Amino acid sequence: MGWIGWTALTLVLLGAVGLVAFRHALNTNAVAVLNGGDKLLNGGDGAIRQVAAERFGADPAQKLEMFVPQGAKGSLPVILFVHGGSWASGNPADYRFIARTLCAQGYAVVLAGYRLYPQARFPDMLEDGAAALRWVHDNAAKHGGNPARIALMGHSAGAYNVAMITLDPQWLKQVGLDDRAIRGTVALAGPFDFFPFDTDATINSFGSAPDAALTQPINFVRGNAPPMLLVTGDADTRVKPRNSKALAARLTKAGVPTTPILLEGVTHEKIIMQFAKPFSRDTRALDAVLPFLAKVTALSAAAPSSVAVKAQAR
């Protein structure tokens, strides 16, 4: 075989090895692959600046990162984002695409982790969410954020975490905060009404709770909670849209008219993919989230304890 043949064979073998490595990465940590692709297509992280990397507990998962737009001046509204992963996996650093996307819209972004199964079970993830919010409240100002303009956002298990922190006042009280610390909450594809526990994830993280009713966001709906935006895909078979529909109906009954936004043909994974390039070409998720965030974090926004926001279906 001549050198041309050997070169071609070498390229084929390298390509095969690369494909195997890519598939392995996709199977073991798809979010990290998504983040890497977004970073590549954004030309790196040059448009954002990391201003903090902190721990708020002894567990390795109790950590957070804060980002601001490069060259940002003044006091920015802050989005505290909590990742998904069935309460058993996830790393804030793999969600930096959320920071790239939302910093570009003029927000400071905090990516927060929380203790995971099997080291943790309910209510550890809620205690950690409240602790992360406490950190943001106490430290945002010195890093360019406005502690009076904080909104929460989460996907999947993270959407559950932020919903519970928003609706059940006890978690904020434990860290010395109240409703005024949250301007509003965005919940993407969140589980809000999932008892009886019938999956490994819910059994593992909630099965040992003394009272299962106290694990369900739908049981803590109140008319004076911070406003919530519920966004889900109508093709989501992992966390079915009935969760968002049920919570919206309960909020409406409590005097907070709420309509969940159902994205046609969108799956559980695709809804978070729409916040990263190249999938952000489908702008429906951002089109739903950005107006809500702008409204609740506006300087002139009313106190969140009495604000009712109605999300129009698209």
**Cα 10 vs. chain centroid, distance in angstroms?**
43
What was the pLDDT predicted at 32? 98
- pLDDT, one tens digit per residue, over 229-272 is 999 999 999 999 999 999 999 999 999 999 999 999 999 999 99
Q: Is the pLDDT of residue 5 over 50?
A: yes
Percentage of residues of the chain with pLDDT beyond 70: 87
What was the pLDDT predicted at 15? 53
Domain total for the chain?
1
- pLDDT, one tens digit per residue, over 167-195 is 999 999 999 999 999 999 999 999 999 99
Residue 29 — very low, low, confident or very high, per pLDDT cuts 50/70/90? confident
Residue 13 inside a domain? The answer is no
What was the pLDDT predicted at 313? 36
Residue 9 inside a domain? The answer is no
Q: Is the pLDDT of residue 279 over 50?
A: yes
**Mean pLDDT, residues 134-143 taken together:** 98
Residue 10 inside a domain? The answer is no
Residue 200 inside a domain? The answer is yes
Residue 25 inside a domain? The answer is no
- pLDDT, one tens digit per residue, over 44-86 is 999 999 999 999 999 999 999 999 999 998 899 999 999 999 9
What CATH number did the domain enclosing 150 receive?
A: 3.40.50.1820
Residue 38 inside a domain? The answer is no
Q: Is the pLDDT of residue 22 over 50?
A: no
Residue numbers of the domain that contains 54? 47-306
**Mean pLDDT, residues 2-27 taken together:** 48
